[in-house]
Amino acid sequence: MVTPFEEQPGIEGIVSGYIGGTSENPTYEEVKAGTTGHVEAVQITFDPELFPYEKLLELYWQQIDPTDEYGQFHDRGTQYRTAIFYHNEQQREMALQSRHDLAASGRFTKPIVTEILPATPFYPAEDYHQDYHKKNPKHYKEDRERSGRDEFIKQHWDEG
């Protein structure tokens, strides 16, 4: 899910990691097991003058299935659920409004279940997870093709 964000002007950094759980410094294996309460996530640093938070939200919605509370595509489990973690009241309000607007759009027939939650400590994932799509392009592409993500995005977001 990193690719469409890293290509945007104003995106200063993207770190893969874990957020929202109960243990400190969880490992990938612990998060993958679903026992820590963490969500696999990306932390995006951005310049709001070049890439406003509203645009970040808009692009985020277009990368996920916001109607699936049990994972994303072939990744199943609460550690793969979708969520937006906000850092201040303005972000919370904007995220809630964007979720409301998406639900009201009629784009999806099922309810939007993506949670809007206060940010908790974010733990960067292990080095081999950072820039995974660049380090392992063949595997990343094959996994993405098998997942059904691209078909879902095309079905719900392509205007044509």
Backbone dihedral angles phi then psi of residue 97, each to the nearest 5 degrees: -65, -40
Alpha carbon 138 to its chain's center: 22
Token reading at 155: 């079905």
- Mean pLDDT to the nearest integer, 17-24: 95
Predicted confidence band of residue 125 (pLDDT cuts 50, 70, 90): very high
Global confidence as pTM = 0.90
Residue 45 has pLDDT above 80, yes or no: yes
Q: Which is more confident, 100 or 141? A: 100
What whole-number distance in Å separates Cα of residue 66 and Cα of residue 152? 11
Residues facing residue 115 across a β-bridge: 83
Q: What is the DSSP letter of 128?
A: G
- pLDDT reported for residue 95: 98
pLDDT of residue 109: 93
pLDDT at 1: 56
Give the model's pLDDT for residue 55. 96
Q: Give the span between the Cα atoms of 23 and 135, in whole angstroms.
A: 28
Query: Cα–Cα distance between 1 and 125 in angstroms, integer?
Result: 15
Please report the pLDDT score of residue 139 as a whole number. 80
pLDDT at 65 over 70: yes
Q: What is the mean pLDDT of residues 40-62?
A: 95
For 78, the token pair is: 């609460």
Tens of pLDDT along 130-145? 887 777 778 878 888 8
Report the CATH fold assignment for 3-153: Peptide Methionine Sulfoxide Reductase; Chain A (3.30.1060)
In the predicted model, is pLDDT for residue 160 greater than 70? no
